[in-house]
């Protein structure tokens, strides 16, 4: 039985993974990497449920996070290893999980993973060229990656809950903007003030720094160019399913763990060009270039 996801994002990523793994050869090991694994909750969810959906597939899950992002508490990664070791004691998580600098190459061999997944990570990546390059390097031929994240286009910024704050580049303007909208009751200032008694001035300065230095949004065209640059087939299929799943969750409907593979390209194109303004999109990258002049 599939356990209930703590987040609709986890459920959606599992559904995409299950759909894209249809027809996968059961004769060899499937290696999955969770990029930006954080507290390990998504790995925990995958470990418990992917095998239920695909009992004949032998798989391993790996994960990493970075130690210079500035938002994680000290020692958090030791807690991640401890959590997963408690749930799955037969696995050496010290060897499966890594933490390192965002500036470093990923500590894996070439062509090592069949699947790479990230959940709300790409908008925090400092060097997208390095990110896409490492996806290409560490994915095996025929492998793919799944990324759920918001594009630069979306209106209501999800970290501060303020409209278009991520589009402001001038620091002084951003601080002023956060202050003015917070005074109108928008955003997260009230909840922060209740929990920590932080002043509005300090809150605005701190979160303007967060937006400036710890988020790095991409546009739709920038994603397509990066996919082309690093020889990855790029699409945004399954974006509409994420929103259908969110609506279904609100209505108490049973979740779907397999999506339609034979799709209308026109419907997918229309979906991404509407939904990119709402919230997260689903990016699929395939390492499957097969052109030959013979």
Tell me the DSSP string of 183-244: HTT-SSHHHHHHHH---HHHHHHHHHHHHHHS-----HHHHHHHHHHTT-EEE-TTHHHHHH
d(CA 170, CA 125): 20
Question: β-strands 30-35, 113-119: how paired?
Answer: parallel
Q: For the chain, give the number of residues.
A: 294
pTM: 0.94
Task: Determine the 3-state secondary structure of 166 from DSSP.
Answer: helix
Q: Which two tokens stand for residue 252?
A: 């108490």
Question: β-strands 139-150, 233-235: how paired?
Answer: unpaired
Mean pLDDT of 202-209: 96
Q: What is the pLDDT of residues 108-147, one digit of tens each?
A: 999 999 999 999 999 999 999 999 999 999 999 999 999 9
Mean pLDDT of all residues belonging to the chain: 94
d(CA 185, CA 176): 15
Mean pLDDT of 184-201: 89
8 A C-beta contact, residue 13 and residue 257 = no
Please name which of 112, 138, 121, 43 lies closest in space to residue 81, comparing C-alpha atoms.
43
Structural domains in the chain plus CATH codes: 8-153+215-286 (3.40.50.150), 160-213 (no CATH)
Distance (Å) of CA 210 to CA 126, 142, 159, 273, 291: 13, 37, 9, 28, 43
8 A C-beta contact, residue 122 and residue 217 = no
Q: What is the pLDDT of residues 20-39, one digit of tens each?
A: 988 776 667 999 999 999 99
Q: So what's the pLDDT on residue 291?
A: 82
8-state DSSP, 124? G
d(CA 246, CA 84): 27
d(CA 131, CA 143): 16
Q: What is the pLDDT of residues 49-90, one digit of tens each?
A: 999 999 989 999 999 999 887 667 777 899 999 999 999 999
86 Cβ neighbours under 8 A, 6+ residues apart: none
């Amino acid at each position: 039985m599939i356990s209930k996801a703590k987040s609709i994002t986890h459920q959606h990523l599992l559904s995409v993974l299950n759909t894209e793994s249809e027809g996968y050869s059961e004769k060899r090991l499937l290696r999955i990497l969770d990029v930006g694994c954080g507290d390990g909750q998504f790995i925990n969810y995958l470990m418990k449920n992917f095998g239920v959906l695909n009992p004949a597939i032998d798989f391993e899950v790996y994960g990493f996070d970075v130690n210079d992002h500035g938002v994680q508490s000290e020692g958090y990664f030791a807690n991640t290893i401890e959590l997963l070791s408690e749930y799955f004691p037969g696995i050496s998580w010290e060897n499966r999980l890594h933490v390192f600098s965002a500036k470093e190459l990923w500590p894996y061999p070439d062509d090592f993973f069949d699947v790479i997944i990230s959940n709300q990570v790409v908008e925090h990546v400092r060097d997208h060229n390095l990110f896409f390059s490492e996806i290409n390097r560490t994915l095996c031929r025929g492998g793919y990656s799944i990324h759920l994240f918001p594009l630069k286009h979306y209106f209501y910024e999800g970290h501060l809950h303020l409209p278009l704050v991520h589009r402001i580049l001038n620091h002084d303007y951003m601080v002023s903007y956060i202050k003015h909208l917070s005074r109108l009751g928008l955003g997260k200032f009230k909840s922060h003030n209740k929990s920590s008694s932080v002043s509005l001035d300090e809150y605005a300065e701190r979160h303007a720094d967060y937006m400036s230095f710890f988020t790095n949004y991409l546009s739709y065209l920038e994603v397509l160019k990066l996919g082309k640059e690093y020889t990855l087939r790029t699409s945004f299929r399954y974006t509409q399913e994420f929103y259908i799943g969110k609506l279904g969750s609100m209505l108490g409907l049973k979740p779907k763990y397999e999506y339609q593979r034979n799709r209308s390209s026109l419907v997918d194109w229309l979906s991404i060009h509407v939904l990119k303004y709402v919230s997260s999109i689903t990016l699929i990258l395939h390492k499957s270039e097969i052109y030959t002049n013979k």
